[in-house]
Amino acid sequence: MSARRAPEGAPGPRLSRGASGLRHLRWAREVLATLEAHVAHNPALGDADREALRGEARALAASVQALSGAVKPYRDFLERTRVHYRGRVRVAEHLLRESGADEAARARLDEARSALAGMEAAQRRPLKASLSEEIDRLREAMARMDARIAERLSAAFVEGLYPPLTDGASRVADDGDPDDDATASPSRGG
């Protein structure tokens, strides 16, 4: 089953803007791989079209690299720093339940929650803002790329660059990979 195709001349399904940076990275890498495959393996392309697509692939690769540069620090933060603060809150909640809600346990919980909130403001928000800016830059670059390629080749060609999506257009569909978090059926919309 594949994602519903858009009407002729309209863009195909696009990843939801609310999808994570990591999912945007996967999506863009799928499009980049398709562009590169056209350059390497599409015998119907003329030399000028092949060279134009090669240039589009180079530009998209730079956008993918920039997004990757914002995704990694944010993911590292979530998986290495934030989890410790969240764990501290869970321990404080446990101690509060076990103590019968004594004042010392309540103070530990307040302190743990305050530390979590402070860390969120000092570390997470700037990383998330940087990631959000890179996602927007990538999406804008891809929209401009789509317009150039559609003008040169066709809207159908552009549509074929994009992988099917699933889960409300928030993930690339990959039924062949059981380790992928998007192993459900493709979405019906874009």
Query: Tens digit of pLDDT for each residue in 48-94?
Result: 999 999 999 999 999 999 999 999 999 999 999 999 999 999 999 99
Which residue is listed with tokens 């309540």? 106
Q: Is residue 60 one of the residues assigned to a domain?
A: yes
Is residue 115 situated within a structural domain?
Answer: yes
Match 């994602």 to its residue by tokens. 3
Total tally of structural domains belonging to the chain: 1
Cα within 13 Å of Cα(106), Cβ side: 4
Domain membership flag for residue 180: no
Stretches in the chain below the pLDDT threshold 70 = 1-13, 176-190
DSSP one-letter code for 124: I
Domain range for residue 80?
A: 21-167
Please report the pLDDT score of residue 182 as a whole number.
45
Tokens of 70: 């914002």
In a domain, 98, yes or no: yes
* Confidence at residue 165, expressed as pLDDT on a 0 to 100 scale: 93
Residue 77 confidence (pLDDT): 96
Residue 67 domain-assigned (yes or no) = yes
In a domain, residue 7? The reply is: no
C-alpha span between 155 and 133 (Å, rounded): 27
Sequence-separated (6 or more) residues with CB below 8 Å from residue 128: 74
Give pLDDT, residue 174: 85
Q: In which element (H, E) is residue 166 found?
A: strand 165-166
Answer whether residue 16 is part of any domain: no
Look at residue 87 and tell me if it is in a domain: yes
Helix 47-76 / helix 21-41 crossing angle, nearest 10 deg: 160
Nearest Cα neighbor of 163 from 23, 14, 9, 20 is 14
The whole-angstrom separation of Cα 157 and Cα 80 is: 41
pTM recorded for the entire structure: 0.82
